[in-house]
Chain A
């Protein structure tokens, strides 16, 4: 039914989208794993990243930066935007760590509302399209399929971050401490871990992953107001499929969702969410903890 070229194209696009999704979902997972907060605002971080990316591209184009450096400008945009992480953590989340999960979820929902208006205020209601398209770094031709090199860059960056995160969590002292906090907060605190400091750290890293995911997406998608709430739908699918709180789950889940999305777009674009959520429901019913997660009371 498909030619080989078409399959390569679908897989490639799927993996590209999956790598962006991984960044956002990994941020969500990290924050959930350490702080036990399901951060609905991670989609808003992504949306902010896209808008900032578009603005950065415009700015650097204005001062005449060579095209080759755009991807660096985008990464810097994402990193700089990470400053909102500590502000939110200290100002909003810190007072409610002891509350029930419902309230924490609602606090992040409030952030979604606030950020949507912040974007509306700063960038206006009309969609913004970046002045640079993903083909700026040239294209790769495999048979009849055209693959932008920029996509490959993004996939490599995402993979590097994934490997780095995996290494950090499994091997370093920082990762071990984070896992200890995730397992038993009181015990870690009793053993002398400054839990507050690590909460701040993990939330900031989680935020930066979301904003970088967004800024890297800036040349590919139009920046519009619904971006934030739209990406949540996919990020949720990723964490449910992969398992809440699991990094490797986020990676596999993101790839599954990305490829399914690519497939759906190729066959029947309107079925996109339907197919992905059919997978989600199937997973929740058969293995509610997800592929790599563990269920807890």
Chain B
């Protein structure tokens, strides 16, 4: 029975074709040469996007693969960020590896604790409970200002050592766009490959089974709650690492990261790209970050433009950008076929 359901679900695994691989390789090469051809601010936006990739794919393991909508993932971003900043400011830690490991560990612990309580519910109650935890953490951050800097947050004024190498002589923008950029790119690629392995593995297929039909999965011998908890913890780790990477770019951390609107932005990115696809959230994050930075530089009313864009997507392209592209390509193929027949 267990084998049956796995076979059934494994038919929906995304494409594994050569065209896709070649696109990936081209994108990777573009990413490699970008700092030397693109202007620094574009590289900076790209760097921000790379930091968001672990966050959104971690989030989507929960939404797209397990079927749980978290409205409080800002909590784990904040844990990653505050851990890094705190280590740098108070303990003089410079090695970014230590920060990443500690951020991942703390996010995993927090994810385990929060997840243990949240996974008892699904749908709207799950969303509300995660939101509640995030808000509690928000007021903690506000209250313990001697620890967290309160409303103002904390800034970092030193720069981290990458793989034990220090880059204190470089300008900060050069450090970020020429050195740190490649470091984040490497970590992002590793995390991406790892996540792809997770989602296509036996474990990932079980998660999909849990999403598609929890009762059937349960009857087939899967421990539904255990799988949800594992997904939650992995998701928290990814998000925490993303936060720890991101804080080096923003150079500042504020409690607003745990406010529910920030978590809403993560949901926004994921749905924008399409949560039914592995690449969906990544494309969503890219479009969102580029659009936001672009619109923000043009007008102060960027929210209304983003809001209208979001509404249009929700109403007209429910599959997100990826879903829209897919149905478009299907349409084109259909048309081409009908031409051939006529």
Do residues B121 and A103 form an inter-chain contact, with CB atoms below 8 A?
no
User: Which of A3-11, A151-159, A275-283 has 4 or more CB atoms under 8 Å from chain B?
Assistant: A275-283
Given contact pairs A102-B63, A113-B310, A273-B136, a sample of 12 additional A-B residue pairs in the complex whose CB atoms are under 8 Å apart: A101-B124, A102-B267, A109-B267, A113-B303, A113-B306, A113-B307, A270-B139, A271-B139, A277-B132, A281-B133, A281-B136, A288-B120
Do residues A284 and B304 form an inter-chain contact, with CB atoms below 8 A?
no
CB distance from B292 to the nearest CB of A (A): 11
Contact with A along B297-329 (1 / 0, CB 8 A): 000111110111011001100100000000000
In the complex, residue of chain A having the shortest beta-carbon distance to the beta carbon of B143:
A270
**Within 8 Å CB of A244, what residues of B?**
124
Do residues A270 and B142 form an inter-chain contact, with CB atoms below 8 A?
yes
Do residues B310 and A109 form an inter-chain contact, with CB atoms below 8 A?
yes
Does A229 touch B at the CB level, under 8 Å?
A: yes
24 A-B residue pairings within 8 Å (CB atoms): A38-B124, A92-B311, A99-B314, A102-B63, A103-B271, A103-B318, A107-B314, A109-B268, A110-B307, A110-B310, A110-B314, A112-B264, A112-B307, A113-B304, A113-B307, A118-B304, A120-B300, A233-B260, A270-B143, A271-B139, A272-B139, A281-B136, A284-B125, A284-B129
Cα of A120 to Cα of B120 in the assembled complex, Å = 40
CB distance from A268 to the nearest CB of B (A): 8
Does B261 touch A at the CB level, under 8 Å?
A: yes
Does A232 touch B at the CB level, under 8 Å?
A: yes
Cα of A244 to Cα of B121 in the assembled complex, Å = 14
In the complex, residue of chain A having the shortest beta-carbon distance to the beta carbon of B117:
A285
**Within 8 Å CB of B308, what residues of A?**
110, 114
In the complex, residue of chain A having the shortest beta-carbon distance to the beta carbon of B301:
A117
Cα of A96 to Cα of B138 in the assembled complex, Å = 32
Does A274 touch B at the CB level, under 8 Å?
A: yes
Does B140 touch A at the CB level, under 8 Å?
A: yes
**Within 8 Å CB of B124, what residues of A?**
38, 101, 244
Contact with A along B42-83 (1 / 0, CB 8 A): 000000000000000000000100000101000000000000
**Within 8 Å CB of A272, what residues of B?**
139
Given contacts A109-B268, A244-B124, A277-B135, contact A232 B307 (CB under 8 A): no
User: Which A residues, 77 to 121, have Cβ-Cβ distances below 8 Å to chain B?
Assistant: 92, 95-96, 99, 101-103, 105-107, 109-114, 116-118, 120-121
**Within 8 Å CB of A99, what residues of B?**
314, 318
In the complex, residue of chain B having the shortest beta-carbon distance to the beta carbon of A100:
B318
Total of A-B residue pairs, C-beta within 8 Å:
115
Does B259 touch A at the CB level, under 8 Å?
A: yes
**Within 8 Å CB of B318, what residues of A?**
99, 103
Q: Looking at chain A, what size class is its interface with the partner chain?
A: 35 or more
Do residues B271 and A274 form an inter-chain contact, with CB atoms below 8 A?
no
In the complex, residue of chain B having the shortest beta-carbon distance to the beta carbon of A244:
B124
Partner of B143, one of A92, A113, A274, A281: A274
Do residues B260 and A114 form an inter-chain contact, with CB atoms below 8 A?
no
Do residues B259 and A229 form an inter-chain contact, with CB atoms below 8 A?
yes
Cα of A274 to Cα of B134 in the assembled complex, Å = 11
**Within 8 Å CB of A109, what residues of B?**
264, 267-268, 310
- Report, nearest first, the 4 A-B pairs whose CB atoms are least far apart: A113-B307, A114-B307, A117-B304, A110-B310
Do residues B121 and A288 form an inter-chain contact, with CB atoms below 8 A?
yes
Cα of A288 to Cα of B124 in the assembled complex, Å = 11
Do residues B128 and A284 form an inter-chain contact, with CB atoms below 8 A?
yes
Does B247 touch A at the CB level, under 8 Å?
A: no
Does B119 touch A at the CB level, under 8 Å?
A: no
Cα of A95 to Cα of B313 in the assembled complex, Å = 12
Cα of A271 to Cα of B138 in the assembled complex, Å = 11
Cα of A258 to Cα of B132 in the assembled complex, Å = 17
**Within 8 Å CB of B268, what residues of A?**
106, 109
Contact with A along B236-249 (1 / 0, CB 8 A): 00000000000000
CB distance from A64 to the nearest CB of B (A): 36
Do residues A114 and B303 form an inter-chain contact, with CB atoms below 8 A?
yes
User: Which B residues, 103 to 145, have Cβ-Cβ distances below 8 Å to chain A?
Assistant: 117, 120-121, 123-125, 127-129, 131-133, 135-136, 138-140, 142-143
**Within 8 Å CB of A103, what residues of B?**
271, 314, 318
Partner of B135, one of A106, A120, A233: A233
Do residues B132 and A240 form an inter-chain contact, with CB atoms below 8 A?
yes
Cα of A118 to Cα of B305 in the assembled complex, Å = 11
Given contacts A110-B310, A274-B139, A277-B136, contact A102 B304 (CB under 8 A): no
Given contacts A38-B124, A273-B136, contact A110 B63 (CB under 8 A): no
Cα of A112 to Cα of B310 in the assembled complex, Å = 11
**Within 8 Å CB of B121, what residues of A?**
284, 288
Do residues A106 and B300 form an inter-chain contact, with CB atoms below 8 A?
no
In the complex, residue of chain B having the shortest beta-carbon distance to the beta carbon of A279:
B132
Contact with A along B174-215 (1 / 0, CB 8 A): 000000000000000000000000000000000000000000
Does A199 touch B at the CB level, under 8 Å?
A: no
Do residues A96 and B310 form an inter-chain contact, with CB atoms below 8 A?
no
Cα of A240 to Cα of B311 in the assembled complex, Å = 27
Does A236 touch B at the CB level, under 8 Å?
A: yes
Do residues B303 and A274 form an inter-chain contact, with CB atoms below 8 A?
no
CB distance from A285 to the nearest CB of B (A): 6
Question: Which of A95, A110, A236 neighbours the largest number of chain B CB atoms within 10 Å of its CB?
Answer: A110
Contact with B along A285-297 (1 / 0, CB 8 A): 1001000000100
